Structure 1
Amino acid sequence: MKNLIKGIISASVLLGALAQGAERGNEAEAVAMVQKTIAHLKQNGREKTFIEVNDPKGPFVDRDLYVVINDMNAKNLAHGGNHRILGKNLMDLKDIDGKYPMRERIAMIKASGKGWQDYKFVNQATQQIEKKSMYSERYEDLIVSCGVYKQ
């Protein structure tokens, strides 16, 4: 009986860990989401894409993955995870460690056109500050990004 209970507990812990892992997006999915957004921009234009990116039930939100679009001056144009910052300039936004994610992102995009950056940000799903890796690509005068939260 004790072995059966231990087995049930172990299986529950394992299933819980697997379920939690399934709730989080990975790096490959973040890159794919950015590329999907850029393809959508090319095919459907900015207005339609921004509307769809802002839709929390739309095609650019998947579990804890969501697309963010900024201009090259750090103005937020679309955000699948936090509508409170739409239209705001994020140049002076700091993370908990004093990093300026948008300044870093713009410098990276100007230098190489795409890449990854790390900083800390509030995970909308957990409401906790977590480590985040954000993938970004330039499309015309836009920065299209999608990030993954790290445990």
Structure 2
Amino acid sequence: MRAAVLVGLIASIQSLLTWADSYADQELRARGLLERAVAQYQQEGERSFAAFSRLGPFTEDDLYVFVVNRQGVMMASGGPSRVLIGRNITPLLDDQLRTGFQSILQTPLEQGVQEGEYRWINWRLGRVERKKAFYQPMNGHILAVGYYLPRADKASAVNMLERVVRALETDPEQTIALINQLDSEFYQDDIYPVVVDNETRRFLAHGYNHGLVGTRFETVKDHAGSDLGAPVVALMQNRDEGEFSYQWRNPVTQKVEAKTAAIRRVGRYLVLVGWYNE
């Protein structure tokens, strides 16, 4: 048993290290591409937009340079958004993103390279995903390079579950409070924990929908209308861990997606941490 747990822990750590390496590599490549674009713009000014908008030295796999002016008009793009060149993209944004975008457009020139996160359509997959961008104001333009943030996988969810289990064993009240406060220790990308009191069958903590706290877990249905709480309670009657699949809204994409939860019993608590399936 201990050997199996150790193997699982090692696999989780290896997966997380691979994810971190990939994330760091994407960030370095994006920064490097932006630096090259800034140097080109400093030499060529707006004449560089043509080079930014075609395959070549300013595109790298799925990374590309895009440029908007201070009015929100797309001036150049080496990616699928090149179809928006010449158009004001502000009306295409949701309210939250529009507010952030307007803030970016007002960034002073002297602040240098900035970074931010937002949701944007992944044209290859046909869905909205989290994206991180590095950008720099240059005269009347904003030069930027963005990349899609990887989705959390099963290993990340299990790692989160282990953290919650350890925290509950040490200080359950503090752990529950932190989860309900959306503390960054218990919230990562599109994974978050849920804690249920297995005696009262009520939600004690929810890392996404605080409105469920205090309600009966057994009566909860998933976002496709199927029973969720009752089958999980039945599943965990005579076991300490398990998995359950259902449909739930992804807080990153805001779409209902297939999800699987890893479940662990910790004393009187049931802890669930799920990951969204591709």
**Which bracket does the TM-score occupy, shorter chain normalised?**
0.7 to 0.9
Match of 1:20 in 2: 148
Which protein, 1 or 2, shows the higher relative CO under an 8 Å CA cutoff with sep ≥ 6?
1
| Per-residue deviation, 1:64 | 0.6
1:8-87 to structure 2, matched below 5 A, reads 8=59, 11-12=62-63, 19-20=147-148, 22=150, 24-44=151-171, 46-72=172-198, 73-87=200-214
What does residue 5 of structure 1 align with? Answer: 54
Indicate the residue corresponding to 1:135 in structure 2.
Answer: 262
CA distance in 2, matches of 1:66, 1:25: 10
Q: 1:11 deviation in Å?
A: 3.0
Query: How far is 1:74 from its partner?
Result: 3.2
Compute the TM-score of the two structures, normalised by the length of structure 1.
0.83
- Gap regions ≥5 residues in structure 1: none
**Structure 2, unaligned runs of 5 or more:** 1-49, 64-78, 80-121, 125-130, 132-146
Cα offset for 1:107? Answer: 1.6
Q: Quick one: percent identity of the two aligned structures?
A: 25
1:119-130 to structure 2, matched below 5 A, reads 119-130=246-257
After TM superposition, the runs of 4+ consecutive aligned structure 1 residues lying more than 4 A away are: 16-19
Distance (Å, rounded) in 1 between the aligned partners of 2:253 and 2:62: 24
Corresponding pairs, count:
146
Greater C-alpha Rg: 2
Deviations 1:69-96 (A, max 9, x none): 0122531000111111111113122224
- 1:109 and 2:236 are equivalent in the alignment: yes
Q: What is the RMSD of the two structures over their aligned residues, measured on CA atoms?
A: 2.5
